[in-house]
Structure 1
Amino acid sequence: MRNLPVRPSILCRKLLAVAAGLLILSACGENRLEASVQPGIERTEQHNETFSQWRDDFRSQALAAGINGQLFDRAFHGVEPDPAVLKADSSQPEFTRPVWEYLEGAMSSQRQATGRMMLSRHAGILQQIEARYGVDRHILVAIWGLESNYGSNMGDRSVIRSLATLAHQGRRSGFAQSQLLAALEILQRGDVSVDGMVGSWAGAMGQTQFIPTTYNDYAVDFDGNGKRDIWQTEADALASAANYLRASNWQTGARWGMEVRLREGFDYALADMSIRKPMAEWAQLGVTDARGQPLDSRSTSEATLILPAGHRGPAFLVKNNFRSILRYNNSTSYALAIALLAERFQGSGEIRAPWPTDDKPLSRTERLELQERLEAQGFDPGSVDGIIGANTRQAIRRLQIALGWPADGYPDQQLLKALRHKEN
């Protein structure tokens, strides 16, 4: 999950009071350890202490925060750093899948078929969850399908070992340490056993892949057995996801958005998540639905235009509920996959416009080069980190405007070639 402020639990507040330098619990970005963190808070020094030295120091901090010493010792019994976790933490893939390939995998025929079966099998529970939290059951099942393949792929690594490894040597040790403390709180409440607390290499847990702080604030005991079990109890897992989305400003009964068609000569600079306009205003700008039919010019609901593959690909107007999904995972591709998969369960969700499948995505090396060249030529892309964020997209737009190209902010091979040419 992403960008939703997370309230620190009481024990976490205590730890923050006694352990200066720990990460302030802020955003549960993707509901994973890869979530964004506040600049300037993360510890960056090299860890010269051994794992046992770090563990003993952390034990003192955890006990000062209220963790039972016997529980701590039981949780850490036999725990040593996991080299596979460190490898995963340090690896940055050179190539990423284009959005159309990601969607194809996310909405496979098998995932659609299993999702429909789960909707039928759990209809009663889903109806109750929908009534209590106001979140569309199809969205919940889509999240369930993408996060853990309907509970069949939750990860099998010890959450304590993974987080301890990352807290000792990981890139964002402060954040990992705060998650580790939250994991100990979960164990202390008795929601799950030490052996049962398994998840991904980054510490995401259960059928809905919550990180520990998100679990502490939003997991619910929907079946009323006294435990918030997102590992083995589908009702708890799905209701917890619904509770999180409700807290992320989900609007009951509202659409996530729709595919649209843009007129010739449209100002692609308007395709930006920071821009919201009433549907009536988009209609005035010549935006129609995907079939070319007029939008509802009477609608006052606001929407944002996104172009996941630039101006050559499909266009979408997305609304508040799309942003709520982004709080769960701050990826446009992910949010689009959830929204469209939920529609596929109901017999719709087909995209009409073609994807630019001949457009080879930039590799990480090429994205770094793009940012370096943008910076060298005065377009101010922000950090040179290989991540195409808001600042880089604005820099790309400035370059595109200078070149007389459609200013969609989309990085592609043609743009990189233009930058290379400008320096020669």
Structure 2
Amino acid sequence: MRQNLKTTLAASLTAFLLAGGAQAQTAAACGGDLGAFLEGVKAEALTRGVSADVADRALAGAAIDQKVLSRDRAQGVFRQTFLEFSKRTVSQSRLDIGRKKLNDLAAVFGRAEQEFGVPGPVIAAFWAMETDFGAVQGDFNTRNALVTLSHDCRRPELFRPQLIAAIEMVGHGDLDPNGTTGAWAGEIGQVQMLPKDIIEFGVDGDGDNHVNVKQSAPDAILTAAKFIQHLGFVKGQPWIQEVSVPDVLPFEKTGLQPGMKASDWFALGVKPRDGDTAFGNLEASLVLPQGRKGPAFITYPNFNIYLAWNQSFIYTTSAAYFATRLAGAPPYERGTPEEGLSEDAMKELQTKLQAHGHDVGKIDGILGSGTRAAIQKEQLRLGMPADGWATPALLAAL
């Protein structure tokens, strides 16, 4: 499951909150007898124009999957560093396969860029990161996963609309309620998309009058391209660019925060490794995944589509870097990052930051955005380079 399911589930939540009367009560219904719950789901599907026959066929044999609940309760968060995670995910094997896919399916990727403005490497990188180019799509029954998460009262307002959309897909002939499998949270196919997104952005890429994102690479590629366009990708603009940084810099301005253009960073001595400064007029952030001595990147507005796809800073930066590699960029310069903190030491640091009045969220040992922001403020106060990287030196200083 993408860690946020931001676009679709946020929209579902907004719709739920804006709904009124019986409609809101229906959307909130959860728990209790499974049969009665499914009758309520069927009734709602009928209001969406689904026939009773399709709804019955979609829900026949539906069951609660305890493994889905276990996964939902134990969602992991990225604990690896950028160097660790990107080394594992952006492997030479994946790069080789990705380049071959871009070549073999050049016509499809060309159509994706022509119609939706999304370059092939961007799509191929997500394809690799999500399912290893379709090889690992998940083995959870999609219908049952969505029934489980809709019936569970933790987040029914997020998953019930996905269940209704899945029933609609059954009516379209694009989902087999008993046979379609995917991720535990209901995502389907080679780029792991949710039913509502497949219905809204689905493209029949192979001309068979179906959107089959599991078996059809053209369908998956073009559907992903249309979805990425919807997330705000601007044709012809970069998304991330590796740079080198000088020793002296207003590091407190680094990180995913507004207020700077790429040209501002270039004027301060930040240098693109490829020498390309053509997009200096664009808003840009300087991100340092492992501090000022590790890899460094300028992120442009198109990077926002990665954040919409997944909230994890490590995932998004790795996926964006992966796309640049497929587009021809060389491997990043590893640099010599300062030693980081263990999980226990990170929790200790978070506790100290909290004691200094910073909101770091949950004390979880994760170097997330809240913790990075708090670190920068304390580094600045202590006269350290405020690059947001958690080090033993900072922990000792606090």
Question: TM > 0.5 between the two?
Answer: yes
1:189-229 deviation line (CA, Å, top 9, x unaligned) = 32233244321011111111001222222221233332122
Q: How does 1:152-163 map to 2 (within 5 A)?
A: 152-163=135-146
Aligned pair in 2 of structure 1 residues 66, 118: CA closer, same or farther (>3 Å)? same
Aligned pair in 2 of structure 1 residues 94, 131: CA closer, same or farther (>3 Å)? closer
Residue among 95, 100, 107 paired with 1:112: 95
CA contact (8 A) 2:360 2:374 kept: yes
Amino acid in the other structure paired with 2:157:
G
CA–CA separation in structure 1 for the residues paired with 2:212 and 2:121: 21
Alignment match, 2:390: 411
**Alignment size in residue pairs:** 391
More helix by percentage:
2
Residue among 210, 223, 226 paired with 2:193: 210
Alignment match, 2:287: 306
CA contact (8 A) 1:22 1:175 kept: no
Q: How does 1:249-288 map to 2 (within 5 A)?
A: 249-288=232-271
Residue among 222, 229, 238 paired with 2:212: 229
Aligned pair in 2 of structure 1 residues 355, 114: CA closer, same or farther (>3 Å)? farther
Amino acid in the other structure paired with 1:250:
F
Aligned pair in 2 of structure 1 residues 367, 184: CA closer, same or farther (>3 Å)? farther
Aligned pair in 2 of structure 1 residues 57, 238: CA closer, same or farther (>3 Å)? same
Which piece of structure 1 moves more, 335-344 or 129-138?
Answer: 335-344
Amino acid in the other structure paired with 1:379:
H
Which piece of structure 1 moves more, 151-160 or 61-70?
Answer: 61-70
Alignment match, 2:61: 78
CA–CA separation in structure 2 for the residues paired with 1:289 and 1:316: 8
CA contact (8 A) 2:182 2:189 kept: yes
CA–CA separation in structure 2 for the residues paired with 1:145 and 1:320: 23
Amino acid in the other structure paired with 1:274:
Q
Residue among 20, 26, 31 paired with 2:24: 20
Alignment match, 1:398: 377
Q: For residue 386 of structure 1, report the CA deviation from its aligned partner.
A: 6.0
1:106-137 deviation line (CA, Å, top 9, x unaligned) = 11121111112212221222222222222111
CA contact (8 A) 1:22 1:177 kept: no
TM-score, normalisation: structure 2: 0.86
Aligned pair in 2 of structure 1 residues 147, 380: CA closer, same or farther (>3 Å)? closer
CA contact (8 A) 2:145 2:185 kept: yes
Aligned residue for 1:20, secondary structure, equals helix
Alignment match, 2:106: 123
Alignment match, 2:312: 331
1:219-252 deviation line (CA, Å, top 9, x unaligned) = 2123333212211111111001111122222222
Aligned pair in 2 of structure 1 residues 357, 266: CA closer, same or farther (>3 Å)? closer
CA contact (8 A) 2:375 2:389 kept: yes
1:96 aligns with 2:99: no
CA contact (8 A) 2:240 2:321 kept: no
Q: For residue 305 of structure 1, report the CA deviation from its aligned partner.
A: 0.8
CA contact (8 A) 1:90 1:171 kept: no
Alignment match, 1:181: 164
Amino acid in the other structure paired with 2:24:
A
1:193 aligns with 2:164: no
Amino acid in the other structure paired with 1:409:
G
Which piece of structure 1 moves more, 88-97 or 154-163?
Answer: 88-97
Alignment match, 2:301: 320
Amino acid in the other structure paired with 2:110:
Q
CA contact (8 A) 1:89 1:170 kept: no
TM-score, normalisation: structure 1: 0.81
Aligned pair in 2 of structure 1 residues 195, 347: CA closer, same or farther (>3 Å)? same
Amino acid in the other structure paired with 2:360:
P
1:318-374 deviation line (CA, Å, top 9, x unaligned) = 1122222332223333333333323333543311242538434x43x6655544432
Aligned pair in 2 of structure 1 residues 68, 387: CA closer, same or farther (>3 Å)? farther
Q: For residue 273 of structure 1, report the CA deviation from its aligned partner.
A: 1.4
Aligned pair in 2 of structure 1 residues 388, 352: CA closer, same or farther (>3 Å)? closer
CA–CA separation in structure 1 for the residues paired with 2:330 and 2:103: 19
Aligned pair in 2 of structure 1 residues 245, 386: CA closer, same or farther (>3 Å)? same
Aligned residue for 1:302, secondary structure, equals coil
Amino acid in the other structure paired with 1:19:
Q
1:63-95 deviation line (CA, Å, top 9, x unaligned) = 344433332222222222112111111114487
CA–CA separation in structure 1 for the residues paired with 2:397 and 2:88: 32
Aligned pair in 2 of structure 1 residues 170, 141: CA closer, same or farther (>3 Å)? farther
Amino acid in the other structure paired with 1:160:
R
Amino acid in the other structure paired with 1:325:
Y
Aligned pair in 2 of structure 1 residues 48, 301: CA closer, same or farther (>3 Å)? closer
1:354 aligns with 2:358: no
CA–CA separation in structure 1 for the residues paired with 2:157 and 2:133: 31
Aligned residue for 2:284, secondary structure, equals strand
Residue among 320, 323, 335 paired with 1:342: 323
Aligned residue for 1:286, secondary structure, equals coil
Aligned pair in 2 of structure 1 residues 93, 367: CA closer, same or farther (>3 Å)? farther
